[in-house]
Amino acid sequence: MKKCVIIGSGFAGLSAAVYLSKAGYKVIILESSPKPGGRAYSFKDSKSGDIVDNGQHILMGCYKYTLNFFNEIEADKNLLFQENLKIIFLKENFKTFPLSCPNFLYPFNLLFALMNYKAISSEEKIQFLSFFIKLFLSSGRELEKFTVYEWLKKENQSENAQKAFWEILAVGALNTNTKRASAKIFADILKEIFFKGNKASTIIIPKLDLSRTYCDQSINFIKNRKGEIYFGENVLKLEDENSKIVKIITSKREITDFDFVISSVPNFAYKKIIKSEKLNCAFEPEYSPIISVHIWLNENLLKEKFYGLINSSVQWIFNHEKYITLVISNAGSLIEKCNEEIFKYVTGELEKFILLNPKAISSYKIIKEKKATFVPSQNIIKQRPSSATKFKNFFLAGDWTNTGLPSTIESAVKSGKIASDLIIDSK
């Protein structure tokens, strides 16, 4: 039986491990932390005793690699699927603006939803329609020289339309502001969401915490096929000989009995373990942070599972009944502030948008991911490395590799599938 050592157990590493295990490979996962999940994990909150996620992670119906992965490990039952796209957007004073697809033939239901989205004017809706027609007919290559902001301005998307729709979507998908992100990669995302069928635009939310949603199922799948996973074991160095990786040095041992190696750790962690000039990566991105704020309430009057906020640095509110989770993408302006300052800011937003009485708050937890994703500018997109390397038995996985997607869950899972396919096809 061929053996593959996988460094890291986030979405990318687990995806690669599951597909290799299914193909009959012996998988050995080395994870430096005491738990699987990478940047998408769960923990027990010390005050409430609740199991919460490090941040709110959502999926979309167009996430074909992620949904296939969940099907493989039989975790699809842990997801809450929308029948049709429905998002309740909020302006200040709890003014609601639904973007809701009726239950009739695609794409007319999606067109109906956009034309009935009351946060934008009739004139802006005409520009919306023109925009989507051009997008459908475009290859996207001409967008490589534009930022998202420049593209939207070029296509006569008003400031209001950008605030009420485009910025929420772009910042949520790309985790950076529209003046820095590549228009080409945003156009590719829009095509996947809006032009690939009714289900592609729907939003999918885990029913359970992330550990129970996918981590436990992945580990069980791998172990049931004789795979092994070792927590708290740091990979310190990879040694090469004759264009192959021949030794893995960890904080606990030296490993030489393997056929293949996949590194699925983030780029900044990868650079710490790579000593060979042949494996150095020119990918030097700028990172963008995400802040998640869990707030426990004595009384929760919210009815929907989630809300989008118009013209706020807090893009989303997710409703877990006992507590709510606020997501701040592109959080560079807040990331260095202390928790008390961040909490004061987000409670001010809650007072404006959902008319929340601060006295209803019983406790809170703030989680900062300083290097949550890389900024997908066009020059950085072109630098992303492929999965294959100069060493014939060594492969890369991770949302930062060249998947054609921004650094999302879908990109991470796809990268794991790409790496596993390269190994399987090398027979």
Other CB atoms within 10 A of residue 403 CB: 25
Q: Rounded to whole angstroms, how far apart are CA atoms 423 and 421?
A: 5
Euclidean distance between CA atoms 402 and 418, whole angstroms: 10
pLDDT tens digits for range 384-419? 999 999 899 999 999 999 999 999 999 999 999 999
pLDDT digits (tens, 9 = 90+) for 14-69: 999 999 999 999 999 999 999 999 989 999 999 999 999 998 888 999 999 999 99
- Of residues 296, 231, 218, the one with CA closest to residue 52: 296
What is the H or E stretch that residue 5 is in?
Answer: strand 3-7
List the structure tokens of 200: 């592609």
Token code pair at residue 212: 């129970």
Q: Name the token pair of 308.
A: 């989008």
Identify the three-state secondary structure at position 262: strand
pLDDT for res 273: 80
The residue whose two tokens read 């019983």 is: 362
pLDDT digits (tens, 9 = 90+) for 180-225: 999 999 999 999 999 999 999 999 999 999 999 999 999 999 999 9
Q: Does the pLDDT of residue 379 top 90, yes or no?
A: no
Higher pLDDT, 406 or 272: 406
Domain ranges of the chain: 3-72+207-285+377-425, 100-201, 287-373
CA-closest candidate to residue 87, choices 310, 394, 336: 310
Q: What is the pLDDT of residue 277?
A: 63
- How is domain 3-72+207-285+377-425 classified at the CATH fold level? FAD/NAD(P)-binding domain (3.50.50)
In sequence order, the 6+-apart residues with CB closer than 8 A to the CB of 155 are 127, 130, 131, 134
According to the model, what pLDDT value does residue 337 have?
97
- DSSP state, residue 165: I
CATH of domain 287-373: 3.90.660.10
**What average pLDDT does the chain have?**
94
Contact 37, 381 (CB under 8 A): no
